[in-house]
Amino acid sequence: MRSKGVLDTLNRREHLPARKIERLLGLSHAGVLEALDRFAIPRNGKGRKRTGQLPFGYDYLDHQLVKKGSEQAAIRMMREHRADGFSLPEIARNLNLMLRPTKRWASGKPAP
C-alpha cells in the first residue's frame, strides 16, 4: 500500500474497517494495518473501537456516534405507535408502506 490518499479516503471518509479495505484492495490484513500505522492514520480514533453495524438512528462522524434526524423521526413514530398499542409487525408494515429505508437498505447494501 503506497497511496496514503486512497487509504485515508477508505478509512476516514468511507469509515471502512481494515477487513473491508483488505478485501476491496486485495491486500493482507497485516499489510493494511501496517499502512495505517505508517501513514499515521488512526485505526479507530484515539484507540476506541467501533465494531458491527451502526444502530438505527445514528451515524458515525469523527469517531463518534451522532443522531441522524430522519432515522430519529422514524424511531419517535415507532415509539408512538407502540404506545398506541400497535404490534411490532404492524409497526413494521406501516414503515414499509411509508417506504422508510432500513439502515442497510439506505446505505446501498443488499437486504439479507
Domain residue spans of the chain: 1-52, 68-106
pLDDT score recorded for residue 84: 96
pLDDT digits (tens, 9 = 90+) for 10-54: 877 777 778 888 888 888 888 888 888 888 777 654 445 555 677
- DSSP of 39-91: TT--SSSTT----SPPPTTEEEETTEEEE-HHHHHHHHHHHHHHHTT--HHHH
Specify the amino acid at residue 62.
Answer: D
DSSP 14: S
What's the rounded mean pLDDT across residues 68-95? 92
Q: Which residue has the higher pLDDT, 77 or 2?
A: 77
Q: Look at the alpha carbons of 33, 48, 52, 40 in this order and tell me if their dihedral is positive or negative.
A: negative
**Rounded CA separation 32/29 (Å):** 5
pLDDT-based confidence at 91, cuts 50/70/90? very high
**Rounded CA separation 45/49 (Å):** 8
**Rounded CA separation 70/57 (Å):** 8
